[in-house]
Chains A and B, each alone.
Chain A
Amino acid sequence: MKSIYIHIPYCRSRCTYCSFVSGAPHETMRLYVRALVSEIKDRLTGGEISSIYVGGGTPSVLYRGALTEIFDTVRSRCKVAGDAEITVECNPDSVTADFVDELVKTGVNRVSIGLQTDNDALLKFVNRPHDKSGFLKAYTLLSPIENKSVDLMLGLPMQTKDDLLSSLDLVTGLGAPHISLYALKVEEGTVLYQSGFTADDDFEAELYDLAFEYLRAKGYDRYEVSNFCKDGKLSKHNYGYWDLIDYYGFGVSAHSYLDGYRIANTDNVSKYIGGNYEAERVDARDDRAEEYIMLSLRTSKGLDLNRLTGYGVDLLRTKRKEIDEFVKNGFLTLSNGFLRLTDGAFYVMNGIIASLI
């Protein structure tokens, strides 16, 4: 089974930390959706799909009918599994009753809402197009779709521990089954980067630990470094990335992973509309072992050593010394053929992974 990612490069406003392709002029929307449909028709030929994720940008700013057209196209080209997870990202300000209606009608069964923080002053500072009350309104409108995820951010400029706790209180109080907690990354070329803001890694780590403890106490399981869920409501789609399943990426700047090839679509909306979808195709068939190491260790399930052996790497032979050292120092555990990061090691995993690949 494969999964599908669809990128919508439109937003009402641009957040100061954003480095995604999201700023396309809204007049191009219809042309874009037409191109998207045609890309899906071109590339999607049969097979069964286990999850679809529409992200952005802000899919909720699409005109009514756009999602219907997109999903109809997908369904006409392949079989979407009966239990498929179908997620659409939305921003609180563009969630309307019509929109929710369209989601339900098109079979969307999961939404991911970008809140980031419930502090209005901070939201304004990073140029988010909504406030806390807008979020609450949208959350209520979206009640027909039970499986909700809320995005929060760590390390926003001026964000305090209390800010974070307040946001967590709000979201867990609403009973959201899934929370993504992303650390702010100051990417080159963003407004925030130009403003000279630099992240305070130590404080960010403190915030992360705080959130981790908080969510654990509330019954949320950290199944991946930035993702928490309760009652097993993990994001099947995102999990697929860490599990090396094949996926199509449709739309501008989308990435696909098919039969060991990693394909990147163009970042340029005009080119995309003109029908030049693909920008780069890399043969990653020999990278499978390395990719599995770096992706699987992000999850609480951890790295299946047997599976890795199937990719041609016997880590217990090639990296025994490193593994023993990490285990001894309490950064890794090794049990039942699985290698896992300990709780304390999740936020410093890059160094560990770099030693194992």
Chain B
Amino acid sequence: MNRLEKIRNFCIIAHIDHGKSTLADRLMESTGTVALRDMTDQLLDSMDIERERGITIKLTPVRMKYVRDGVEYELNLIDTPGHVDFNYEVSRSLAACEGALLVVDATQGVEAQTLANVYLAIDNDLTILPVINKIDLPSADPESVKREVEEVIGLDASDAPLISAKEGLNIGEVLDKIIDFFPHPRGDEDAPLKALIFDSYYDNYKGAVCLVRIKDGKVKVGDKICMMATNMTYEVTEVGIFSPKPTPSDILSVGDVGYICASIKNVSETAPGDTITFAENRCSAPCPGYKKVLPVVYCGIFPADGSKYNDLRDALERLKLNDAALYYEQENSAALGFGFRCGFLGLLHMEIIEERLEREFNLDLITTAPGVNYKVYKQSGEVVTVTNPSNLPPVQEIDHIEEPIVSADIYTPPDYIGAIMDLCQEKRGEYKDMVYLDKTRVKMSYIIPLNEIVYDFFDSLKSRSRGYASLDYEIKGYRESDLVKLDILLNNEICDALSIIVHREKAYQRGRSLTEKLKEVIPRQMFEIPIQASIGSKVIARETVKALRKDVLAKCYGGDISRKKKLLEKQKEGKKRMRQVGTVQVPSEAFMSVLKLDDK
């Protein structure tokens, strides 16, 4: 048996909560990769947020040794992110594998994300082995789930291991099937180096660390390498494998999964999908499929306490070190002061960044409504892209505006078809197709403006389907649309941080719900505050916050002024958390409260 025949590179595909990370833990445990005492649940997900949300954000490969019939196999598990925002990253890590375990929950069946990732795996020519998990649960129905896998996905599920990752049931069978069922890697050890970067991370001492799958050739310390997309060259300072901690080795050879360090300053130089080859003796063609990743969702991020601007900048810099897809530039808002306009791969990516900024860097943030990248065609013939509503050119200069659209697939039990059709209609969706996958599942396809997806689509979809429907989408391009800038005026002054770009037909409804919400969250002040929503100079909705009538401590009790002092200090503290918009004090929370409005 040659070296390559003893290697298997595989990944695990699963819907959130179907047990991917638990299965990964069991595999590592069974192969003795980690001593039991070192196990914490979900070992691969090293970030707190990953553990809590049960999702994988950063990829972590791990090498396991498995001995069978006297032969020691090397099993490389490449973990994949499980969310649509990271589709491209998923596809790159799939490209590093030959096989994929498809974990399906025996109580839930196939879900939208599972399908999306299965198609990605099929696109990447992977061999797919279904694994039915959670068979220990009373409501488990492995036979019908198997049938669903066969009918919906078209995979042969007759050999699918029935397991319980939680209970450690039938894990050995999975390991055996990985060896018997998945092809071993192929490639030419003597060819020039060809290594696929499927992820990278930043290490304070080593710089950007490339996670690679060696497709051809071999690499060792001292080799001069080159990134084929950027043509930048480096000298290798370390190579190694993950077991699961990074462990230096002498050489990485064809078929291997491991890491390469080369004093690379920034993860933006180690783009997933790029190919590493030798600087001198180059391989003939890079690995296929490389794409430059661009942000699709934008929002403004500001420190709640204006004096924390530098802290926010430093924090974004730190995150950017490890996240090439994060984009940010300085933004100056009249209402919120200095902050950043940030770009993300999607809503989840945005939420994760916000959460990490708040948690890991202890920052209190104000974020503005998420928006997308608009193409504005001016009458002068110039085309500008606008991600910040405040930068929209004056109406009279605009010829027309185009907005990004997505093709969205929604998977749902048939009961909710009506509700979902209504939702898609409200969200300006254009119906494309509907397919009954089986008696209990329907796939509905729509073209929907991304602008509508980023605005509470997930939440509405979940609430209208009682959590059953799932969504997958892909950017399809741009389409002309009748969009307008909706401004909010507080005491007759525009509050730039609350401006949004909306479809003209939606403007009235949004204007109304925004003004209503703001009326609730802006405290009464010493004068009456009109809150208006306007398009250009036309006011389309108005609410009023009445003037404050009583704000006094009537009595200083028997010379005890401590209560009054405390009250005033509290009031003063409260003021610090307020933003001044013209003459109006607006609490930081107000900016956040308008992000999620119920249009109903």
Interface residues of A (CB under 8 A from B): 5, 7, 20, 55, 182-183, 185, 201-202, 204-206, 208, 225-226, 241-242, 247, 249, 253-257, 262, 264, 287, 290-291, 294-295, 298, 325, 329, 331, 345-355, 357
Nearest CB in chain B to that of A237: its residue: B559
- Please state if B552 and A348 are interface contacts (CB–CB under 8 Å): yes
- Asked, given contacts A354-B568, A357-B572, whether A331 binds B526 with beta carbons under 8 Å apart, the answer is yes
The digit string for B79-117, where 1 denotes a CB below 8 A from any CB of A, is 000000000000000000000000000000000000000
Q: Is B69 an interface residue (CB 8 A)?
A: no
Pull 10 A–B residue pairs with CB atoms less than 8 Å apart, ordered by A: A241-B561, A255-B560, A255-B561, A262-B561, A264-B560, A294-B564, A295-B556, A329-B526, A347-B551, A350-B551
Nearest CB in chain A to that of B564: its residue: A294
> Could you say which of A55, A345, A354 contacts B558, with CB atoms under 8 Å apart?
A55
In the bound complex, residues from chain A placing their C-beta under 8 Å from that of B583 are: 325
| Bound CA–CA A206/B547 (angstroms) | 13
- Asked, given contacts A348-B526, A350-B571, A354-B575, whether A185 binds B554 with beta carbons under 8 Å apart, the answer is yes
Q: How far is the CB of B110 from chain A (nearest CB, A)?
A: 53
In the bound complex, residues from chain B placing their C-beta under 8 Å from that of A331 are: 526
- Please state if A247 and B559 are interface contacts (CB–CB under 8 Å): yes
| Bound CA–CA A294/B556 (angstroms) | 11
- Please state if B568 and A347 are interface contacts (CB–CB under 8 Å): no
- Please state if B562 and A183 are interface contacts (CB–CB under 8 Å): no
> Could you say which of A55, A348, A354, A355 contacts B550, with CB atoms under 8 Å apart?
A348
> Could you say which of B548, B557, B561, B565 contacts A351, with CB atoms under 8 Å apart?
B548
In the bound complex, residues from chain A placing their C-beta under 8 Å from that of B550 are: 183, 201-202, 204-205, 208, 347-348
> Could you say which of A287, A329, A354 contacts B527, with CB atoms under 8 Å apart?
A329
| Bound CA–CA A259/B310 (angstroms) | 43
| Bound CA–CA A136/B572 (angstroms) | 45
- Please state if B561 and A226 are interface contacts (CB–CB under 8 Å): no
In the bound complex, residues from chain A placing their C-beta under 8 Å from that of B571 are: 350-351, 354
Nearest CB in chain A to that of B572: its residue: A354
In the bound complex, residues from chain B placing their C-beta under 8 Å from that of A20 are: 557
In the bound complex, residues from chain A placing their C-beta under 8 Å from that of B568 are: 294, 350, 353-354, 357
Nearest CB in chain A to that of B560: its residue: A255
Q: How far is the CB of B247 from chain A (nearest CB, A)?
A: 60
Q: How far is the CB of B577 from chain A (nearest CB, A)?
A: 13
How many interface residues does chain B have, given as a range?
A: 20 to 34
| Bound CA–CA A298/B565 (angstroms) | 13
Q: Is B268 an interface residue (CB 8 A)?
A: no
Interface residues of B (CB under 8 A from A): 525-527, 548-562, 564-565, 567-568, 571-572, 575, 583
In the bound complex, residues from chain A placing their C-beta under 8 Å from that of B567 are: 350
In the bound complex, residues from chain B placing their C-beta under 8 Å from that of A257 are: 559
In the bound complex, residues from chain B placing their C-beta under 8 Å from that of A353 are: 568
Q: Which 10 A-B pairs have the closest CB atoms?
A: A205-B549, A354-B571, A201-B550, A183-B554, A350-B551, A205-B550, A255-B560, A348-B551, A255-B559, A354-B572
- Please state if B561 and A256 are interface contacts (CB–CB under 8 Å): no
- Asked, given contacts A347-B549, A350-B553, whether A254 binds B558 with beta carbons under 8 Å apart, the answer is yes
| Bound CA–CA A182/B556 (angstroms) | 10
Nearest CB in chain B to that of A248: its residue: B559
In the bound complex, residues from chain B placing their C-beta under 8 Å from that of A5 are: 558-559
- Please state if A225 and B552 are interface contacts (CB–CB under 8 Å): yes
In the bound complex, residues from chain A placing their C-beta under 8 Å from that of B549 are: 201-202, 204-206, 347-348
Q: How far is the CB of A93 from chain B (nearest CB, A)?
A: 22
In the bound complex, residues from chain A placing their C-beta under 8 Å from that of B560 are: 253, 255, 264
Q: How far is the CB of B553 from chain A (nearest CB, A)?
A: 7
- Please state if A351 and B526 are interface contacts (CB–CB under 8 Å): yes
Q: How far is the CB of B581 from chain A (nearest CB, A)?
A: 15
Q: How far is the CB of B552 from chain A (nearest CB, A)?
A: 5
In the bound complex, residues from chain A placing their C-beta under 8 Å from that of B526 are: 329, 331, 345, 348, 351-352
Interface centre among B553, B554, B555, B559 (most CB of A within 10 A): B559
In the bound complex, residues from chain B placing their C-beta under 8 Å from that of A294 are: 561, 564-565, 568
| Bound CA–CA A226/B556 (angstroms) | 10
| Bound CA–CA A225/B553 (angstroms) | 9
